[in-house]
C-alpha cells in the first residue's frame, strides 16, 4: 500500500473507531491556509482535534512520536483558526489515533490528551 493510500485508509479506520466510541465527527481533513486537521469531533461537550498517524507494522518509530513540537504548533494554529471561524466556546482536547497495519490485522491506539499545546 502506498503512503497516501495508507493514510486515507488509516483515517477511515480512525473515524469508524471514534464513532463506535461515541464521538460525533464534525469534519475530516479540515483545511485553513496551509494547515489541516485530520479529524474534528465532539466527545460529549468537548471539541476534539485528532491527528491520525498510520504506519505499517515494520515501521521503526512509534507513530505517536511523529507528533513533534512543530506538528503540535501546526495543530494548535489550525485549531485556533477553526475555533475563531466557527465562534466555538467549549473545552478543547488534542488526541492522537495511531493506526498500525499488520499483515493479518489492524491495531488502533487512541491517546486522549496526547499533548497540551503551549503558546510560544
Which residue, among 90, 81, 102, 97, has the nearest Cα to 35 in the 3D structure? Answer: 81
Domain 3-111 CATH class label: alpha beta
Whole-structure pTM value:
0.89
Q: Rounded to whole angstroms, how far apart are CA atoms 84 and 117? A: 17
Which residue, among 95, 100, 115, 78, has the nearest Cα to 21 in the 3D structure? Answer: 95
Q: What's the rounded mean pLDDT across residues 27-54?
A: 95
As a whole number, the mean pLDDT across the chain is 89
Q: What's the rounded mean pLDDT across residues 93-104?
A: 93
Q: What's the rounded mean pLDDT across residues 104-111?
A: 93
User: Which is more confidently placed, 47 or 66?
Assistant: 47
Cα four-point dihedral sign 42, 80, 96, 2: positive
What's the DSSP call for residue 64? G
Amino acid at each position: 500500500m502506498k503512503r497516501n493510500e495508507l493514510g486515507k485508509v488509516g483515517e477511515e479506520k480512525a473515524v469508524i473507531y471514534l464513532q463506535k466510541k461515541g464521538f460525533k465527527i464534525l469534519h475530516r481533513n479540515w483545511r485553513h491556509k496551509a494547515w489541516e486537521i485530520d479529524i474534528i469531533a465532539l466527545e460529549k461537550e468537548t471539541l476534539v482535534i485528532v491527528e491520525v498517524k498510520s504506519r505499517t507494522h515494520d515501521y521503526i518509530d512509534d507513530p505517536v512520536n511523529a507528533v513533534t513540537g512543530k506538528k503540535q504548533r501546526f495543530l494548535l494554529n489550525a485549531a485556533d483558526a477553526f475555533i475563531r471561524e466557527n465562534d466555538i466556546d467549549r473545552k478543547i482536547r488534542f488526541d492522537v489515533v495511531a493506526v498500525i497495519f499488520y499483515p493479518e490485522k489492524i491495531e488502533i491506539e487512541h491517546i486522549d490528551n496526547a499533548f497540551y499545546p503551549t503558546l510560544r
